[in-house]
Structure 1
Amino acid sequence: MCEMCGSTEQPLVTVTMDSGGTVRHRQVCQRCARSDASTVVRRPVRMCVRCDRITDTPVLVSEVHQNPRPGFSVYACGDCAPHFPPLPDVFDLL
């Protein structure tokens, strides 16, 4: 959900806002990110797990869960993502 207008429009982007010397990161919709001149859109930059290239259009291909530590997400570039199986639906796992 967009933190500025409450819209459920996807995809959300992370923006950095400077309000009176305080820097805040917010998840906002594309429309709000374009309309506010004080925001700086941070592009998601990740390394592809298959080819080790840096991509600014990462695709989530896996989630690794570790007990008792926090897990992490695994990303691939758009070219390598089709080589991974689709993520299972959470309701199929129950």
Structure 2
Amino acid sequence: MIAICCRCVRETTAPVAVRYIDRTSGPGVTLHACPDCAPHLIPGPLLWEIAPSQRG
């Protein structure tokens, strides 16, 4: 999988999921970071950390 780092905006082939953003319409979005930036970010809730009753 290739993703764009949410901190440095570079492509990474080793993305680390750092946050899940729920949206009011459509599916939510998972933000990814590269391995270099991930330790500098405060992880937010990820999809599997949100209680089913709180999911859209």
Q: TM-score range by the shorter chain?
A: 0.7 to 0.9
Q: Deviations over 1:47-91 (max 9, x none)?
A: 111111111000001111011221111000000001111344435
CA gap 1:59/1:90 in 2 versus in 1, 3 angstroms: same
RMSD: 1.7
Which is greater in Rg? Answer: 1
The DSSP-based 3-state class of the residue aligned with 1:82 is helix
Percent pairwise identity: 39
Give 1:1-94 correspondences, 5 Å limit: 44-88=1-45, 89-90=49-50
Instruction: Count residues with an aligned counterpart.
Output: 49
Runs of 4+ in structure 1 over 2 Å off: 86-91
Q: Which has the higher contact order (CA 8 A, sep 6+)?
A: 2
What TM-score does the superposition give when structure 2 sets the normalisation length? 0.72
The structure where strand makes up a greater share of residues is 1
- Ranges in structure 2 where 5+ consecutive residues have no aligned partner: none
Output the amino acid matched with 1:61. Answer: V
